[in-house]
């Protein structure tokens, strides 16, 4: 897997008040920063800007999130919660 984050990629937050939580990359700002959302504390309309050094990139990308962004330019918070829950369950967390 590429060391650079991708849209739709799952991440584990390593630093900050959301530490240890899972989120999805919904935008890439530049080489150092991405926007993440989880559909719960971090809604799609108010994503968190995070330094990629403070994230652990997971080797899974959500095709559902990518498709939604391509089709409508956004992802519903329900869908974000759903894919994160599904990913966490598959990972055994």
Is residue 92 very low, low, confident or very high in pLDDT (cuts 50, 70, 90)?
A: confident
58 found inside a domain: yes
User: Residue 1: its pLDDT value, please?
Assistant: 47
Q: Look up the domain containing 16 and give its range.
A: 9-91
Number of domains in the chain: 1
Q: Is the pLDDT of residue 80 over 50?
A: yes
Kindly state the average pLDDT of the residues 30-56.
97
1 found inside a domain: no
Is residue 2 very low, low, confident or very high in pLDDT (cuts 50, 70, 90)?
A: low
Q: How many CA atoms lie within 13 A of 54 on its CB side?
A: 17
* CATH number for position 18: 2.30.30.30
2 found inside a domain: no
Q: Is the pLDDT of residue 93 over 90?
A: no
Q: Which phi and psi angles does 20 have, rounded to 5°?
A: 75, -5
Across the beta sheet with 22-28, the strand order is: 48-51, 33-37, 22-28, 9-13, 55-61
Is residue 39 very low, low, confident or very high in pLDDT (cuts 50, 70, 90)?
A: very high
């Amino acid at each position: 897997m590429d060391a650079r984050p991708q849209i739709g990629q799952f991440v584990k937050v390593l630093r900050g008040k959301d530490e240890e939580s899972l989120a999805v990359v919904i935008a890439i700002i530049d080489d150092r920063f991405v926007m993440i959302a989880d559909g719960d504390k971090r809604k799609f309309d108010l994503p968190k800007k995070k330094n990629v050094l403070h994230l652990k990139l997971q080797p899974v990308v959500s095709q559902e999130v990518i498709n939604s962004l391509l089709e409508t330019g956004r992802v519903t918070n329900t869908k974000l919660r759903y894919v994160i829950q599904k990913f966490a369950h598959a990972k055994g967390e």
